Amino acid sequence: MKVRHLLLLALTASCSGQIGSPSVSGDAGWRTYYVAPTGSDSNPGTLPRPFQTIQHALDVAVVPGDRIEVRSGTYDAGLTFRASGTREKPIVLQNYPGERPFISGKRGGAQKLVEIFNRSHVRVSGFEVGDLVATTPAQSGAIFVDGFGDDVQITNNYVDDVRPALHKYANGRAIQVRGYDRTHALTNVLVSGNVIERCTVQDGNVLEISGNTAHDRVLHNRLSDNSGIALNVTGGTHPPVYTRWGLQVRDVLVSGNQVDSSRGSGAIGLYVQASSLVVVRGNRVTHNAWGLYVTSEYPGVHSRNVTIAGNFISDNTEAGLLVGSPFFPTTVLDAIVERNVVVHNGAFESGNGGNFGIGRARRVTVRGNAFVASDDNVLTYLGAPYQDVSLNENCYDDYNHDAATALFGYAGQSYKGFSRYRSATGQDGSSVFGNCTVR
């Protein structure tokens, strides 16, 4: 009887993951592995006997449902996922509860610190990732979701200090989601709850959704004190190829993000270009060079069906909210601009759109917004060419709250006074001047 009792205790301890094997969920078959700087890759990856490197854990976590929890410490970069999960059982790489491990660009020599390539049903959450000196324009950065796949989530990470090498043409990307397979799209990617600071791109994007990708969500991220274009939903980075294939970013929700203090002459806070079915809702875009900009740079690829709703856009020096551009030969088609607060933008008065502007666009509805100018800047600037644009039920105000001296630009003409502008253009018949609600 005593022997049987001891045998039962030993079997129970083994199944609980305390002797020799990682934690196992009995009938599910998935495992939880642990990683710590004090561990060893010859260990079994249990909590008391963890692995030492994250990559080794990724090499063995190949069963759908496998989970990796990483303790505090600094780890080598250049991480790649070896396998996909399933929708019900994703493969998860996350921090150990209450701790934040650091994946450092100074460790391992890699230019892509974390890469998820042609994978589906993967989660990455709870890390600090950064301290990288970038040496390439397109293949350097913190977190990459590339190729094709479905249901990848990048959540609650802190990405900071990714910058080009001195005197080097390179981009320090923070998070890149890029579908570049012609026949298989990258779909249902979630980028949520991340904080991104002090990243520098020269002609790239700090947070990018691009290429053949659809049904993505960019939610509740904070981008601050970066250099270059901060958040970009873009049709692709090789326009002739994407035009020929007819591929665009499509069906993307960008909501609840805060984008501020982007530096540089071309620093756009939130950029939507060569994309379709994009909803930009409830974001705060402040203190950048350019605020929120919708256009298309690529010949033959128009931005279509873009909704810009409920955003707060303020104190951007070059321009606040722009729909369409006179600089590119493409058009924004079927856009809705509603319930936004656009205030105190365009202080540099460089002729780049001021507080609110419409350029090359067709079928644009602008309603229920609050437009408040700073100093003596124009409240709105609509420059040719555009067609079928409707403005109504908006509220306008400026720094001296005087409707008679407010400035408007429309179809290449300047108007002084709210009544004169409405009479000459036939726009904003039910709009008001003064006492705008600015949150």
pLDDT tens figures, 102-154: 999 997 789 999 999 999 999 999 999 999 999 999 899 999 999 999 999 99
Q: Identify the pLDDT of residue 384.
A: 63
pLDDT value for 383: 73
pTM: 0.91
Q: What is the pLDDT of residue 331?
A: 84
Torsions phi, psi for 244 (to 5 deg): -65, -40
pLDDT, greater one: 407 or 39: 39
Domains of the chain: 69-433 (2.160.20)
Residue type, 388: D
